[in-house]
Each structure stands twice: as C-alpha cells, then as structure tokens.
Copies of this chain bind each other. A is one copy, B any other.
Amino acid sequence: MQVAIVGCGVIGAGWAARFLLNGHDVRAWDPAPEAETRLQAVLQKARASLPGLYDRALPPSGQLRFCATLAEAVQGADWVQESAPERLTIKQSLFAGIEPHMTEGAILASSTSNIIPSKLQALCHHPERLIVAHPFNPVYLVPLVEIVGTDVTPSELPLRAAEIMRGIGMHPLVMAREIEGFIGNRLQEAIWRETLWMVKDGIATTAQIDEAILYGFGLRMAQMGQFETYRLSGGEAGMAHFLAQFGPTLADPLTHLTDVPALDAKLIGRITTQSDAQSGGRTIAQMEQARDQNLVALIRALKPRQAGAGAAVRAHEVRLSLPQDTNLPVTARRVIPSTWIDANGHMNEAHYVEVASNASDTLTERCGVTAEYIAGGHSHFTAETHVRYLAELLAGEEITVRTQVLHGKGKKTHLFHRFMKTDGTLAATVEVMILHVDLATRRVCAPLPHVAKALETLELAHAAYPPPDGAGRAIGKAWTVASQSAKTSAAGESARSSRWTR
C-alpha cells in the first residue's frame, strides 16, 4: 500500500511511523522547513517502542520519501492522511490541492480532533472519499482511531478504512453519527474543564489532580471503561440497580461544569507554575520516552490477558508470520522491548527463557500441540533448562531463534534453541527437556499418535544437522575446571571472549 502523509507534526509523523513500521511505503509533505527533521525524530521514538509491543517481528519497514510538493506526495497513494493545524480554512485549501491528484478508490482521511466531517467535505469535489480518522497521541503506540463519515459516505468506506487501520495495528471505532470532539475528546474535555476549576479554586494542585487520576481511576480506565466499571459497582443486580442507586446524585451540583472558567493571566500563571514544579525539570523528550516505555509496559501487561489495548496488539500479532527456509525451523523472530532491559543495560536473563518458552510452544504447536489439543487434556511441561548467555542483547535488537530437535521419540523431547542476532552472532543457546503430560493426572504419558509422529519426523530431519556445540554440558563441571586450571576449558575460554547477561 502507498500512503501519503500531509502535515508532519506530532500526529502526522506518528501516522507515518505506524505505516512505515508496518511495511507500507510513505510519501510525506509538510511546508515547514524543519518538518523532515521532526518527522525523523518521531520515527526514531516509534522505532524504539512500537516493535517492542509484539512478540513477533514486524514486516520489513516501508520506504519513506519526503516530497517537495503536495502533488508528488499524493500521486498514486491509496490512503492520504491529512494532519494539518486545526483550522477549517487551512484544511479546505489542502483538500483542494489534494483532490486533483488522488487515485480512484483512494481514501482521504483527516486527523482532525474537533471538526466534523460534513464541514470538511463542504467544498470537496469528491466529498464521498473524505472521512475523519482521528487518532490519539502517540499515534505509533495508542491503538484507538475514531472513524467518522457523513450521509454522503458510501456505507462500505468506513468498513474498508477500518480494515486498513487494523492492518497497521490500530483499533478502529466506527461512529454512527458525527459530533464535535467525537467520543474520546469530549470525555477528556469534560475532565479538563473540571480540573481547571479545581486549580482555579485552590482545591488541588496540578500534581495532586494527576495523582488522583493515575493512582486511582486511571488504573481502571486502562482496562475497563466507565460503564463496565460502574456495572461492577452495581453488583449482581446489574446496571439498572446502579442507575437507581446513584441516579439521584445527578441532581447534586457535583461538578463545576455548568460554567467554564476564564483562562485569565492569573489562572494561566498558576497552572504553568504548578506544572513546571510537577515535571521536576524533566525535558519533554525525557517525559515522552518515559511515557512510551510505560505504554509498552502497560500494553504488554494486558496482552496475555486479551484485555483492552493488549487485545488489539494480540489481534495484530497473529497476522505476523514467521518466515521459513530450508535451514532449521525458525521458531521465533522478534525485537527486544525496552521493558526487558535491566540495571546492567541489557536484556535480563529471565527473558531468554521467556523467548525459549515461546519458541518451544511454536515448535510443538506445529507438531499438533495446539490450544485445542491442550484443552483436550494433554500438553508439554519443561523438566530442565540449560541456558548459555553468549552475547548481550540490547533494546530494539532483532533476534531469530532456530530450533533443533535432538530427541523426539516417545514421552521426552529434547530441544536445542539457538538465538542469532541479525549479524549472525550466536547470542545464546537454550537446551530444554520437555515432557509430554496428561493434564488431569499431571503425569508423563505418550503423545497422541499425530504429535508423536510429527516430533519423530523432526528428529530424523534434524539429525542431518551437526550436533550443537554446548549441548549436554554441565555447568558446574566445566566451570570448576575453568576456575581451577584456567584457559584449558572451552567454557572458560568463552567466558573471557564473550558477553553475558543478568
């Protein structure tokens, strides 16, 4: 897919990053002189964080071309994303420049956070091609995008747009009707106005208000919205009970929002002073880095639970395939997330076993140990693991794991995982003994015939490969020798010439 990015501020650049890192070619245009530099800066932040959401590598990045003219950027694009300043006249004049160069069947999407699409379409020659696709910052990590059309929008178009958005890992929310601010920003605006009153009235500082959010209901909002949260407050009696119980408090003037505070110099000064104190001298770049790493950590935490944004990432991840060749099977290819880095500045030792565990799962799943097989009462348990840490792995590095089946017959399966960096360096070997078990009795038993056959077949095929260096070696023996007589042991040598992790 060919994508045009019109306007390369924080939002436009975030879109560019998402499309590029998902393998699409991007042509970008922005009249500001520093636009290309800013775009590269955002792209760098996206590269440092987005791949870390996934336990599989994203496809090879698309090509970025920064264009001198709007026409050049738009020509031949399947998707044109406009992210200009929030003024209707600016956007309308851009659309006039875009439309003559648009391909038949292409979609023109506006990132506007506030202007309804019928106003955007008003002067268009092809209003039926224009929709709103409103994202949230940072676009390269937060999955929500609000898709809004009008009465002239063909009914298939929002659905097609939603599918394209899912293809780059977004979670599209197709709205039935247009309204100023759409959904997300109306809710944020309600909070924002109330917080302004609190600061103005001296009820709380900006830091206290933020604490009240992130130590309290903010935790709930990352995984359950307003209605699901209140449903729980209603208990087993359900939502009607909750509404009956708490409905009457709507009559109380509980929020200040029957009025809007004047943003006079005094209030601006107070907010600015408090906000400066709260940020403790951290730069915006430092705060953005912290935010991105926190987002990766939060979304990764939700992923195995299929909750909230984690569900969106999981849905995207299963579309990413593992490329195979005639060598030993690739059982993992992935980028090291920043959240896996420890005090020594490299991937912590436990995550080598996490990667190996996923690689073992991938291999046995291909041999028939699927979710249904496990639900049917059989699985593999690991009995023993031996890791040799041979090279450090840093955040953002890509590794490929290939797995050799050393023994596949019967109840016990002996696997040897090799972790390779993109430059061919062997980063680690993980040797595991897994046992086929009956999940009811938790005891070892023979695999069902199709699984047994598949594992045996792999053992036979992999016997053609050389036996791995380092398999079947004891830690203590090698190391005791190395520490006593030095330099004579291969393990001792590798200790001096290689790099390890903790």
Q: How far is the CA of A471 from the CA of B476 in the complex (A)?
A: 6
A-B contact pairs, 16 of them (CB 8 A): A10-B233, A173-B211, A177-B203, A183-B198, A186-B198, A188-B226, A192-B230, A247-B268, A297-B307, A342-B357, A350-B353, A353-B353, A383-B495, A384-B491, A407-B480, A434-B502
Interface status of A291 (Cβ within 8 A of chain B): yes
Residues of chain B within 8 A of A180, CB atoms compared: 252, 254
Q: Which residues in window 181-228 of A have CB below 8 A to B?
A: 181-196, 198, 201-204, 206-228
The answer to whether residues A219 and B298 also contact, given A357-B350, A380-B502, A412-B495 and a CB cut-off of 8 A, is yes
Interface status of A290 (Cβ within 8 A of chain B): yes
- Map CB proximity to B onto A308-319 as digits: 1 under 8 Å, 0 otherwise: 110010000000
The reply to whether A227 and B214 form a contact with Cβ atoms under 8 Å apart is no
Residues of chain B within 8 A of A407, CB atoms compared: 479-480, 483
Residues of chain B within 8 A of A456, CB atoms compared: none
Interface status of A144 (Cβ within 8 A of chain B): yes
The reply to whether A384 and B475 form a contact with Cβ atoms under 8 Å apart is yes
Interface status of A410 (Cβ within 8 A of chain B): yes
Q: How far is the CA of A381 from the CA of B268 in the complex (A)?
A: 51
The reply to whether B214 and A221 form a contact with Cβ atoms under 8 Å apart is yes
CB of A280 to closest CB in B, whole Å: 11
Interface status of A24 (Cβ within 8 A of chain B): no
Q: How far is the CA of A190 from the CA of B412 in the complex (A)?
A: 60
* Segment touching B, from A12-20, A64-72, A99-107, A271-279: A271-279
CB of A404 to closest CB in B, whole Å: 12
Q: How far is the CA of A472 from the CA of B443 in the complex (A)?
A: 26
Interface status of A60 (Cβ within 8 A of chain B): no
A252 closest partner in B (C-beta):
B180
Interface status of A427 (Cβ within 8 A of chain B): no
Residues of chain B within 8 A of A487, CB atoms compared: none
The reply to whether B477 and A250 form a contact with Cβ atoms under 8 Å apart is no
- Map CB proximity to B onto A425-468 as digits: 1 under 8 Å, 0 otherwise: 00000011111010100111000000000000000000000000
Selected from B176, B214, B228, B382, the residue in CB contact (under 8 A) with A202 is B176
Residues of chain B within 8 A of A203, CB atoms compared: 175-177, 179, 183
Q: How far is the CA of A495 from the CA of B187 in the complex (A)?
A: 57
The reply to whether B186 and A190 form a contact with Cβ atoms under 8 Å apart is no
Q: Which residues in window 479-501 of A have CB below 8 A to B?
A: 479-480, 482-483, 491, 495-496, 499-501
The reply to whether B496 and A444 form a contact with Cβ atoms under 8 Å apart is yes
- Map CB proximity to B onto A39-60 as digits: 1 under 8 Å, 0 otherwise: 0000000000000000000000
Q: How far is the CA of A432 from the CA of B247 in the complex (A)?
A: 60
The answer to whether residues A477 and B474 also contact, given A231-B275, A291-B232 and a CB cut-off of 8 A, is yes
Residues of chain B within 8 A of A410, CB atoms compared: 483
CB of A417 to closest CB in B, whole Å: 12
The answer to whether residues A239 and B483 also contact, given A114-B254, A212-B144, A406-B476 and a CB cut-off of 8 A, is no
Interface status of A88 (Cβ within 8 A of chain B): no
Number of this chain's copies in the assembly equals 2
CB of A141 to closest CB in B, whole Å: 8
Residues of chain B within 8 A of A352, CB atoms compared: 353
Interface status of A283 (Cβ within 8 A of chain B): yes
If A350-B357, A386-B475 are given as contacts, then 18 extra A-B residue pairs at C-beta distance below 8 Å, sorted by A number, are A10-B233, A136-B216, A144-B215, A180-B254, A192-B226, A224-B291, A227-B275, A243-B268, A251-B260, A298-B302, A343-B379, A344-B374, A344-B379, A350-B356, A353-B385, A385-B389, A431-B476, A473-B476
The answer to whether residues A238 and B297 also contact, given A222-B218, A350-B357 and a CB cut-off of 8 A, is no
The reply to whether A209 and B221 form a contact with Cβ atoms under 8 Å apart is no
Interface status of A351 (Cβ within 8 A of chain B): yes
The reply to whether A348 and B357 form a contact with Cβ atoms under 8 Å apart is yes
Q: How far is the CA of A175 from the CA of B209 in the complex (A)?
A: 10
Residues of chain B within 8 A of A351, CB atoms compared: 350
- Map CB proximity to B onto A332-376 as digits: 1 under 8 Å, 0 otherwise: 000000010011110011111110110010000000000100100
Residues of chain B within 8 A of A443, CB atoms compared: 496
**Which A-B residue pairs are the 6 nearest by beta carbons?**
A210-B225, A472-B476, A218-B221, A144-B216, A301-B301, A257-B257
The answer to whether residues A309 and B215 also contact, given A226-B191, A243-B272, A379-B502 and a CB cut-off of 8 A, is yes
Residues of chain B within 8 A of A188, CB atoms compared: 217, 226
Selected from B114, B231, B283, the residue in CB contact (under 8 A) with A249 is B114
The answer to whether residues A268 and B240 also contact, given A190-B194, A476-B414 and a CB cut-off of 8 A, is yes
